[in-house]
């Protein structure tokens, strides 16, 4: 006679760690193999007197970046 | 070409990682590449350039938007480069690496001003988009104001917030254009939206919030506006023939010159 398989006790279940999956809709939006938008700005005054340099860059993507 | 790259500028460009060597011409706009170069020196002391590009990319998005302002070997030169790009990513993308870069440099200058601003709006869409005439007119208006600002003689600190406002306006307008690909707008909010001359005939705006929206000269023939909030809306010159306005709130709306022939105004509130 073999032992009946035993289920997990309530205590054992409570010890398990888990995380809820995101909604299906959220997962379905991730359809990119690579998303790496680049946004950069730089302003320089080199060997210059009384001069003004200014630079900005704004990028709105599903990943928004501002510099 | 008369343009010298300093060690500092090379280092700076290095920090931009993938800065494409800008063409030495005033700028170029090809499919997916929008480049604005404002380069000044003694004898050619002023360059104030703006360009707006709308591009569509499929599969892989490698769009580039660059603004480069460079003044060198000069006294009192002024270089302003501003590049706006709307980048529609059409359908599924295997790769999205759009680049948006701004660089301003004064080299061996006295009293020079260099300003660069790059704005790139990357917009995923399911299907290709063609902007219609009223939508294109909005973008043209933004471009006109941006060019005027670039040529205004203002300092970088003065121009920068205004260019960012124009960029935000462009983003809103483009977002609205994308939203209006769906003619069923029942219950949606268009409060204060700028939709002058827009082609909205046959749309369903039932119970939508269009309060204070600008709908001047808009085409709204047969549009369902039942229960919509149009209070304070600007509807002068709009064509509302055959529209359903039953139960709509038109308090304070400007209807001068609007065509209401055949419109159902039962229960609508005017005042």
Interval B156-175: pLDDT, tens: 999 999 999 999 999 999 99
Radius of gyration of chain A (CA): 28
Mean pLDDT of B238-258: 94
**pTM of structure:** 0.80
B71: containing domain: 7-130
Average per-residue pLDDT in chain B?
A: 89
CB-CB neighbors (< 8 A) of A50 in chain B: 110-111
Give the end-to-end CA distance of chain A in Å, rounded to a whole number: 73
Q: Would you state the pLDDT for residue B270? A: 85
Residue to mutate among A28, A55, A61, A63, with most B CBs inside 10 A, is: A55
Q: Is residue B190 part of a domain?
A: no
Q: pLDDT band for position B268 (50/70/90)? A: confident
Q: Is residue B139 part of a domain?
A: no
Residues 128-187 of B with CB under 8 A from A: 155-157, 159-160, 163-164, 167, 171
- Residue B240 tokens read as 């509302």
Give the Cα separation of B260 and B214 in Å (integer).
17
A42 touches chain B (CB under 8 A): yes
Mean pLDDT of B28-41: 88
Q: Is residue B96 part of a domain?
A: yes
B101 touches chain A (CB under 8 A): yes
Q: DSSP for B212-253, please give it.
A: T-B-TT-B-TT-B-TT-B-TT-B-TT-B-TT-B-TT-EETT-
CB-CB neighbors (< 8 A) of B108 in chain A: 46-48
Q: Is residue B33 part of a domain?
A: yes
DSSP letter, residue B25: S
Q: Is residue B149 part of a domain?
A: no
Q: Going residue by residue through chain A, which has 67 residues, state the pLDDT in tens, using 9 for 90 and above.
A: 445 556 667 776 566 555 555 555 444 444 556 788 999 999 999 999 999 999 999 999 876 556 6
| Domain segments of chain A as ranges | 19-67
Number of folded domains that form chain B: 1
């Amino acid at each position: 006679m073999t032992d009946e398989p035993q289920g997990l006790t309530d205590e054992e279940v409570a010890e398990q760690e888990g995380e809820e999956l995101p909604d299906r809709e959220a997962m379905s939006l991730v359809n990119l193999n690579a998303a790496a938008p680049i946004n950069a700005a730089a302003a320089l005054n080199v060997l210059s007197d009384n001069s003004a340099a200014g630079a900005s860059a704004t990028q709105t993507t599903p990943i928004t970046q501002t510099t | 070409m008369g343009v010298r790259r300093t060690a500092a500028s090379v280092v700076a460009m290095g920090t931009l990682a993938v800065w494409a060597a800008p063409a030495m011409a005033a700028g170029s706009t090809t499919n997916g590449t929008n480049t604005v170069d404002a380069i000044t020196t003694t004898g050619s002391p002023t360059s104030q350039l703006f360009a707006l590009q709308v591009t569509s990319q499929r599969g892989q998005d490698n769009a580039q938007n660059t603004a480069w302002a460079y003044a060198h070997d000069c006294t009192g030169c002024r270089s302003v480069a501003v590049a706006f790009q709307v980048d529609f990513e059409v359908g599924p993308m295997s790769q999205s690496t759009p680049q948006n870069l701004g660089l301003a440099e004064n080299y061996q200058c006295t009293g020079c001003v260099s300003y660069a601003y790059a704005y790139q709006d990357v917009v995923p869409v399911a299907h290709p988009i063609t902007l219609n005439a009223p939508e294109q007119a909005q973008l043209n208006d933004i471009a006109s104001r941006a060019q005027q600002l670039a040529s205004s003689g203002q300092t970088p600190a003065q121009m920068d917030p205004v260019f960012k406002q124009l960029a935000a306006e462009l983003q809103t307008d483009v977002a609205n254009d994308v939203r209006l690909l769906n003619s069923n707008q029942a219950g949606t909010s268009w409060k204060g939206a700028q939709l002058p001359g827009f082609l909205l005939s046959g749309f369903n705006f039932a119970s939508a919030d269009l309060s204070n929206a600008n709908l001047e000269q808009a085409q709204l023939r047969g549009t369902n506006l039942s229960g919509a909030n149009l209070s304070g809306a600007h509807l002068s010159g709009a064509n509302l023939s055959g529209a359903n306005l039953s139960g709509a709130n038109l308090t304070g709306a400007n209807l001068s010159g609007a065509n209401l022939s055949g419109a159902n105004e039962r229960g609508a509130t005017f005042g």
